[in-house]
Amino acid sequence: MDISQRIEELRREIRDHDYRYYVLAEPSIDDQAYDMLMKELEALEAEHPELVSPDSPTMRVGSDISSEFPQREHAVPMLSIANTYSREEVEDFDRRTRSLLDSDDIRYTCELKIDGIALSLHYRDGVLHSAVTRGDGRVGEDVTQNVRTIRSIPLRFADSGSCEIRGEVYMELEAFSRMNEVREAQDEKAFANPRNATAGSLKLLDPKQVAARPLKYFAYWLRLEDNMPETQWDALAQLRQFGFPVNSERALCKNSDEIMNFASGMEAKRSDLPYDIDGIVIKVDSFAQFEELGATAKSPRGVVAYKFSAEQAETILEDIIFQVGRTGTVTPVAVLSPVFLAGSTISRATLHNEQEIARKDIRVGDTVVIEKGGDIIPKVVEVVVEKRVADSTPFEFITNCPVCGTELVRDESEVAVRCVNAACPAQVEKRILHFASREAMNIEGLGPSNITKIISTTGITDFASLYSLTDEQIDNIPSWKEKSRVNFKLALENSKKRSLAQFIFSLGIRHVGAGAARTLASTFRSLDKLMAANREKLEQIDDIGSTVADSILEFFNNESNREIIENLRKHGLPFEEIQPEPVNDFVFSNKSFVLTGTLPTMTRSEAADSIRARGGKVVSSVSGKTDYVLAGENPGSKFDKAQALGISIIDEEAFFRMLGN
């Protein structure tokens, strides 16, 4: 495989994990595995700047922005911090810090890394004025009304100036479990973990509901107009004195040995703490030194996290069951004797696929080690072979679909085993769920239980049939009140106004995620043109590789898919792109741009779009090959580098002139 293919593969994989994590809230790998994919991609892109593309997952800090709350720009960006996983990496960090500062007079404040949600608080004349989430690090969401309900956050304190405080909102484990019990008793979906529950709570639209959620806060960062302390250690004391909750576990360390002592002490204490932590944060104590170290594009150099390895537990694997996904992929799931691990009781774990079971020789009845990496579904790490019962036999994977009985297909090139019966009820339900999801047709209220109800009362077998349901059929859906019926019909009507990209995504074509759907929509601008495209045409498109092309062709060749599509056409779904076609005068043909800083009227991604629409390229780092650096306010190091290399630096006005407006 050549480098560009590997890069594409990594991007696809990371996008897929992002989708599972952020959209489905069903991550399938842990943070460390995710970080490794990201690191590999970053390294390859650094070696091959010509392959960097502005839509690569490396280009974002990770955003949690939805649309219900007003957006606020952070005065100081909320950068993420780099992760380390071993003593060696911590030692490297210490060595690098010393050499960059050219000093041995360095102290580190070490704190717990609370596994919650970062929140910035603004006070004016000592009164809480606004509370903003991290968002994409540059712009976050204003959740002030919700945050006012958190008791441990002072609404006022004795400081006369304006100041900003940052810290972590979290939920204690016990309160979290109690809340989940109540939710389950009321037939509401339980949250997977305290962190998800915290994130969900901050985004509730009704502050009264937020008040009932057991949210707490630890402050760890401070920016004052006057009398700013000189060190992080003193800043924490100051925060405490102002009346903010500050975590009491901390240490002032002189070297990596002392840091690792603190780390191991905390790792040992971890399971006794009333809240989740996922490591420690190591910060250069002196703010002057911290400033001097500066930041990379993504994170300050004066701070790193040292992440603990996942907590593990032993239990018995009682059974292996199977789940059938939207595209028919059959996934094995371990049924476990319930065991308490990292704050919750675990009775299921993912087993990934057939090869994984065979490789680890996992058998029913085995004692297994399971592990939970912070915020993910637990997984089976290994079998405790010494505890295996004498008469155990290797696990045999099923040959037929557990839901509809169709013989499963093992694709040579794939690890997955699939049920190829498109009418399999398990698939139907999940396809409708995907079709209705927020990123797709956004048919609100159509969650798993309502879909099951609709399928069982009306017998529909595809999502197009949602639009043919009669009033009588809708009236017969059990336990739906008048309001649900009206809302459902309204949501169906509104779905017809979605964009072509969202519509293409909603079809659930394998390997076509939201990003690829956008590319296809902007290339073809009509579903019919996409359906008519041959392999050659598809493979010409950036970002569409042969696997994606194959699966698009397979999807549209399928008779029943074509029927579903014709049905959707009858009901007026968005077959055409309604956005005006981008200008294509190619004034920037073969020109390469680097963007830096905040532009006065455009966002960076708007600027990037208009460069690309005119044949130009946007790359992430300045080199001798860069033609222009488009710089806004507070430009980063790219600006300095461009100056040093004598590259044309233009502002937004000059850029507009080049566009001819």
Interface ranges with ligand IVH (CB under 6 A): 80-81, 111, 113-114, 118, 168, 220-221, 281, 300, 303, 305
* CB closer to ligand IVH out of 14 and 219: 219
Residue 561: CB minimum distance to ligand IVH, A: 42
Residue 166: CB minimum distance to ligand IVH, A: 7
Residue 300: CB minimum distance to ligand IVH, A: 5
Burial per residue of 380-410, b for 16 or more beta-carbon CB atoms within 10 angstroms, e otherwise: beebeeeeeeeeeeebebeeebebbebebee
Residue 120: CB minimum distance to ligand IVH, A: 10
| C-alpha count within 13 angstroms, C-beta hemisphere, residue 534 | 1
Residue 260: CB minimum distance to ligand IVH, A: 17
* CB closer to ligand IVH out of 80 and 457: 80
* CB closer to ligand IVH out of 74 and 418: 74
> In the beta sheet, which residues pair with residue 330?
324, 417
Cα 86 to Cα 184, 263, 296, 304: the distances in Å are 39, 11, 21, 12
* CB closer to ligand IVH out of 242 and 524: 242
* CB closer to ligand IVH out of 112 and 454: 112
> In the beta sheet, which residues pair with residue 594?
629
Strand pairing of 592-596 and 628-631?
parallel
How far apart are alpha carbons 660 and 228 in whole angstroms? Answer: 48
Q: Which residues contact 384 (CB under 8 A, 6 or more apart)?
A: 314, 366, 367, 368, 369
Annotated active-site residue in 39, 113, 254, 360: 113
> Are 31 and 80 a contacting pair, CB within 8 Å?
no
Residue 138: CB minimum distance to ligand IVH, A: 14
Strands (E), 524-659: 592-596, 617-618, 628-631, 648-650
> In the beta sheet, which residues pair with residue 329?
418
Q: What residue number has its CB nearest to ligand IVH?
A: 118
Residue 268: CB minimum distance to ligand IVH, A: 19
Instruction: Look up 638 and say whether it is catalytic.
Output: no
Rounded to an integer, what is the distance from CA 263 to the centroid of its chain?
27
CB-based contacts of 572-576 (< 8 A; 24+ apart in sequence): 572/496, 573/467, 573/495, 573/496, 573/498, 573/503, 574/496, 574/497, 574/498, 574/499, 574/500, 574/502, 574/503, 575/500, 575/503, 575/526, 575/527, 575/528, 576/500, 576/525, 576/526, 576/527
* CB closer to ligand IVH out of 137 and 616: 137
* CB closer to ligand IVH out of 305 and 383: 305
Residue 81: CB minimum distance to ligand IVH, A: 4
Return the residue matching tokens 């008040």: 211
Neighbours of 226 (CB within 10 A): 8
Comparing CA positions, the residue from 239, 242, 282, 289 lying closest to residue 259 is: 282
Cα-based angle 244, 246, 248 (whole degrees, multiple of 5): 150
* CB closer to ligand IVH out of 130 and 457: 130
- Known catalytic residues are 113
